[in-house]
Structure formats: structure tokens, C-alpha cells
Amino acid sequence: MSTSSPNPLRWPAEALWEALAPSLPGFTVEVLPEIDSSNTELMRRFRGGPGVEPRPEPLLLIAEQQTAGRGRLGRQWHSRRGDSLTFSLGLPLAPTDWSGLSLVAGVSVADSLEPLASSQSSQGGKPRIGLKWPNDLWLSTPEGERKLAGILVETASWEGIRYVVIGIGINIRAVALDTAAPAAALPAIPPGGLQELLPALDAPATLLRIIPPLVQAVQAFERFGFAPFQARFAARDVLAGRAVQLSDGTTGTAHGAAENGALLVHTAAGMKEITSSEVSVRPVAAHHPQGARPC
């Protein structure tokens, strides 16, 4: 769905270029008013086509409106101009191990929006922005948990170059759900909005706040992997200690993320390491505190 805004969005493209060009040679920023999916577009550009050279340069593509935004496992991501921030960051990357990259992106975004130090004085030290393995950000509200953001990481290769696209969608303002829609069509956890936590942040200001630290985090991941981010993920892990159900029907208790980014789940058969390519994880409803709902 799309809406028109009386005021143009003023994107900080020049400020982002100045901040990142020194560490990302060839880096560019592009804003598109509308596109099917920013991740799909960056993959198209990287792969090229008949008579079109592949483009492996680092690029931040901002989509004011997406008509076919995608989440993990092919789920649709709904966006609306001004109410959502949707972008994809593409760059060549050569880590030793790719495991845990989506978790690192989530840690970086959450820390940029709500530094852990600032959360120590509220909620008994518990941050309001939590991380649900492997790629969602949740917002804690008086009404329960709300989905704040989603992350989709995709990779492709060409002539020895490995290219990664990190797509992120953030709800700036929560979009009301269609109450007339069938229950099966509604998300299991309702959307939340960043302005519930940070009322002064709009989409452009949010982008400027999160992109430079995100690039630094991805570059650190390339060198050191997920392990240095493990403790920061644990501080926001919304599944830790909860009963969960895996996509194959297996149930157990989540015990955080291992050094390789795998989800540790204690099941009747013992401790299992779950990777993002194998499962979708949903907290068992009976174990949600404060009326929280599964994602």
C-alpha cells in the first residue's frame, strides 16, 4: 500500500558518503522513490545480464516505497513511505565463516538505536529493543512485544567475488493492521514503531544513525566472525530461557547463540545447534510473559 506525503523526505546521502567513502572505496548512495525490492535490485545489479557488466561496488540503496519487499523464508515485508525505513546495503565481503552475519547486523542496529548503557536505568536494566534469532528486532511495550524490524541477508558470487546484500526494514510508525483480514493473514506478533521509543526520529535521521556503525560492524565480522558480538547479542536475546518450537515440530528451551551464531536449543534429545538455513523458530505461546505473542 502506498500513501503520498506533503513533504519530501530529505535523505542524508552526502553525509553518509562522506562518512563511509574512506573505508569503502567506490561507495555510493542511491534513493529510489519506489521499487519492487531493494535486495532484489542489488542482486540484479551485481549479477548483471546480457550486455550489462556485473556491478560489485559497495552501494546503499534506499527505497522510499517497496511494492514487493521480502523477509526471510519468502515472507512479504510491508512498507509505507515515511512510516517505514527500507534499504539494502551491498558490498563485497570475504569472511572466513558467514555464520551469524544477520545477528551482527541486528546487534549493530539495536545498539545504534538504543545503546545498552542507556537501557540500564530503565526496565531494571533490560533493553527495550530485543533481538529474536535469527533476524528480527522486537520492541518491548506496555502492551507486550511488537516487531520493530527485520533483516534479510543474501549472497552471490561472480568471478571469485562474493557479494553480500543486507536488507533492513524498520517500522518508524506502527501501521494499523487490517482488522477485516482473516486471522491467518495477520502477523502472529503485531508491528511496533520506533517512534514509540524515540519520537523525534524519522526515517532519514534513523538511517544516518545506524548506517556508519553497521558498516563498521560488518567489516569487523569479516575479520573476526560472530564471537566478539556474542555477549552483545545475549544482552538482547528475547528467546533465552523460553520454550520454543522449531519448524520441524521439535520443542525445547532456547539457550542463546553459540560462538558461530547457531541457536542453542535443549530438546528431549539433548542440546541442538540450529542454523538459520534450517528452521524458523517460534516461542511457545504459553511461555510468553506480559501477554507477548509469537513471531
Confidence of residue 27 (pLDDT cuts 50, 70, 90): very high
Distance between start and end Cα atoms, the chain:
22
Residue 185 has pLDDT above 60, yes or no: no
More confident residue, 209 or 4: 209
Q: Minimum mean pLDDT among 71-75, 127-131, 137-141, 192-196: which range?
A: 71-75
Q: Answer whether residue 183 is part of any domain.
A: yes
pLDDT > 60? residue 233? yes
Q: How far is CA 68 from CA 62, 117, 255, in A?
A: 14, 37, 35
% of the chain exceeding 70 in pLDDT: 82
Does residue 4 form part of some domain? Answer: no
Kindly report whether the peptide bond that precedes residue 182 is cis, defined as omega within 30 degrees of 0: no
Q: State the pLDDT confidence band at 80, using cuts at 50, 70 and 90.
A: low
Q: What is the pLDDT of residue 288?
A: 39
Distances from the Cα of 250 to the Cαs of 147, 189, 254, in angstroms?
24, 21, 12
Average pLDDT over residues 88-116: 97
Please indicate, yes or no, if residue 292 is contained in any of the structural domains: no
In a domain, 245, yes or no: no
Instruction: Look at 185 and 12; give whichever has higher pLDDT.
Output: 12
Look at residue 121 and tell me if it is in a domain. Answer: yes
Number of Cβ within a 10 Å radius of residue 260: 14
Full domain range(s) for residue 195: 13-227
**Within-domain flag for 7:** no
Residue 252 placed within a domain: no
Q: Is the pLDDT of residue 183 over 80?
A: no
Return the pLDDT at 248: 86
- CATH label of the domain that carries residue 197: 3.30.930.10
| Predicted pLDDT at 35 | 92
State what percent of residues in the chain have pLDDT above 90. Answer: 67
Total domains, the chain: 1
- pLDDT computed for residue 278 by the predictor: 63
| Tens-place pLDDT, residues 171-181 | 999 876 555 55
Indicate the length of the chain as a whole number. 295
**Greater confidence, 271 or 179?**
271
Averaged pLDDT, 82-106: 95
Residue 96 falls inside a structural domain:
yes
The grid cell for 3 is 500513501
- Residues 157-178 have a mean pLDDT of 88
